[in-house]
Amino acid sequence: MTLTRMLAEYASNIRFEDLPHEVVEYTKLCILDWYGSALAGKDEKPILSILELTQEWGGNEQATLITGGKSSIGNACLVNAAASHIVELDDIHKSSIIHAGTVVIPAAAAVAEAYGLSGKDLITAVAVGYEICYRIGEAVSPSHYYYWHNTATCGTFGSAAATAKLLNLNVEQIMYALGNAGTQAAGLWEFIEDGANTKQLHTAKAAYNGALAALLAKKDFTSASKILEGRRGFFNAMSEKYDADKITRNLGKEFKIIENSFKIHASCRHTHPAMDCILNIMKENALTHQHIQSISIKTYQTVLNITDNPNPDTVYASKFSSQFCAALIAMKGSASLIDYNNEILQSPELRNLMEKVSVEADPYYENAYPEKWGAKVVITMKDGRTFSEGTDYPKGDPEKPADKEELIQKFITMTIDKVWNAKEKVQAILQLEEISAAEMMEAGEESCKQIQ
């Protein structure tokens, strides 16, 4: 009994009816979050380059492109996966270090749409895809992560598993899909030295390669039967250490998709704990930013190392400034993608508020890091009142989950200049088990057209 066979049997056996209600609801939120990220990123230059190439190549109208129109499953994987990673707001699983949404969901959505499958099929496939790539990522982390971009490498197994499930492959065929996913797994971290576009190519190709493996498996195109644990397989070739037990421990008894983290604010994750505290204090006490005397942040040292920047000069840099992010959320009550812009960057009012923000390291938070990413904020008002709040986790971590309303709000703000009917789209995705995969994707297309 190889590891691949155990995963294949798991994937083959599971049905929508086996998913607990919580898992179904959570999976729809993952899909919603993915969709928002894809819409938010669809007009960025690297995505348009990939889109243009797929247009040169052409393809049958099988699946909706997030940029509008339809193309082949392969092309939809490339465009939709690349688009959903670039604004860096997509989901993340901490223990496998994988952004699963950006790889698994575009592949699954394209295949589900092309084959006329239901929203329930899509939900089941996404949950299976997340489960399998998270387990493989956990088995090889952290050593694999030194050279390899887990989202790309392990993610390929996720897109293969999800699409294999949608194609209703038998156990042997799912093994072929996983085997030929593993042999295509690629994605080196070296690009990060240059901040290169490669990151988008990684997610694009992980989605494409997984779908390719599964679609060929449907035609009985064979593969290695021990791609994970084999002598010249994925574990040995691509990871200094690995823990094969993580592949199967509690398999079928838990659903790892609910361990997923969501990003609420459109800035560096290290700025989030303090921002969450500021937002709560401001809202709960109905404070107005004009009356703030000072904002004091105590947190772990890494926050200072990366985000202690009192004078960011670009929109990108402003997302890595704790002072900017603190002032922004105090002033605007949100810090979504559209809140970061050139206008606010130049705002004297915001700059004035930034000067009232201090950031210091604190032993409690420093000792707790990296298991906990925490901060404590004290806001002192001009009238002398003080308010304080602390947190051990940023909002959206599984220990402090984002709720449905927060994710809906995130979707609406991150897609505000991309679609005109965001609320209807949210509704469609949140009722996914009642509609088809095509209806979900096509609704997106229609609304893209209307705003353009």
By the rule CB under 8 A, 142 interacts with a second copy: no
**In Å, how far from its chain's centre is CA 148?**
18
By the rule CB under 8 A, 170 interacts with a second copy: no
By the rule CB under 8 A, 191 interacts with a second copy: yes
The candidate with the shortest Cα–Cα distance to 140, out of 68, 236, 216, is 236
In the list 36, 119, 187, 374, the residue contacting a second copy (rule: CB under 8 A) is: 187
Whole-angstrom distance, CA of residue 144 vs CA of residue 35 = 28
How many Cα atoms are found within 13 Å in the side-chain-facing hemisphere of 229? 14
Stretch that binds a second copy, among 35-43, 211-219, 337-345, 396-404 (CB under 8 A): 211-219
Q: Are 235 and 242 in contact (CB under 8 A)?
A: yes
Residue 239, Ramachandran bin (φ over 0: left; ψ between -120 and 50: alpha; else beta): beta
Whole-angstrom distance, CA of residue 377 vs CA of residue 401 = 20
**Residue 186 or 430: which CB sits closer to a second copy?**
186
By the rule CB under 8 A, 166 interacts with a second copy: no
Tokens of 340: 């970061």
Residue 349, number of CB atoms within 10 A of its CB: 12
By the rule CB under 8 A, 302 interacts with a second copy: no
Stretch that binds a second copy, among 134-142, 207-215, 375-383, 408-416 (CB under 8 A): 207-215
Stretch that binds a second copy, among 27-35, 72-80, 96-104, 386-394 (CB under 8 A): 72-80
In the list 5, 94, 147, 369, the residue contacting a second copy (rule: CB under 8 A) is: 147
Q: Determine the straight-line distance between the first and last CA of the chain, rounded to whole angstroms.
A: 53
Stretch that binds a second copy, among 46-54, 320-328, 366-374, 434-442 (CB under 8 A): 46-54
**In Å, how far from its chain's centre is CA 41?**
12
In the list 65, 215, 295, 426, the residue contacting a second copy (rule: CB under 8 A) is: 215
In the list 196, 244, 317, 451, the residue contacting a second copy (rule: CB under 8 A) is: 196
By the rule CB under 8 A, 225 interacts with a second copy: yes
By the rule CB under 8 A, 451 interacts with a second copy: no
Q: Are 330 and 292 in contact (CB under 8 A)?
A: yes
Stretch that binds a second copy, among 127-135, 192-200, 366-374, 404-412 (CB under 8 A): 192-200
